[in-house]
Amino acid sequence: MKQAALVTLLMAMVVLCGCSMPPIGNSAGIGVMFDGEPLIFDSSVVYMGTVVGQVLASEWGNGVTRVSIALDGRYDDLKKTNLAAVVKNGRLHLDTLGGYGDPLPPSACISGFGKPYLYHWFKFKHLINNIMMVADQRARCLRVRSGLTG
- Three-class SS string for 66-100? EEEEEECHHHHHHCECCEEEEEECCEEEEEECCCC
Would 136 be classed as within a structural domain?
Answer: yes
**Residue 31: how many CB atoms within 10 A of its CB?**
23
Would 19 be classed as within a structural domain?
Answer: no
Per the structure, the complete domain to which residue 67 belongs is given by 25-146
Would 116 be classed as within a structural domain?
Answer: yes
Q: Look up the pTM and report it.
A: 0.72
Backbone angles phi, psi at 45, to 5 degrees: -115, 125
Q: Which residue has the higher pLDDT, 4 or 20?
A: 4
Would 16 be classed as within a structural domain?
Answer: no
Q: Which of 82, 80, 81, 85 is nearest to 69 (CA)?
A: 85
Would 13 be classed as within a structural domain?
Answer: no
- 3-state DSSP assignment of residue 114: coil
Write down the pLDDT at residue 71: 95
Would 40 be classed as within a structural domain?
Answer: yes
Across the chain, mean pLDDT equals 83
> How many domains are contained in the chain?
1
> Tens digits of per-residue pLDDT, 106-115?
888 999 999 9
Q: Which of 70, 69, 77, 124 is nearest to 100 (CA)?
A: 77
CA distances from 145 to 36, 112, 114 (A): 11, 15, 17
Would 11 be classed as within a structural domain?
Answer: no
Would 5 be classed as within a structural domain?
Answer: no
- Judge whether residue 129 has pLDDT over 50: yes
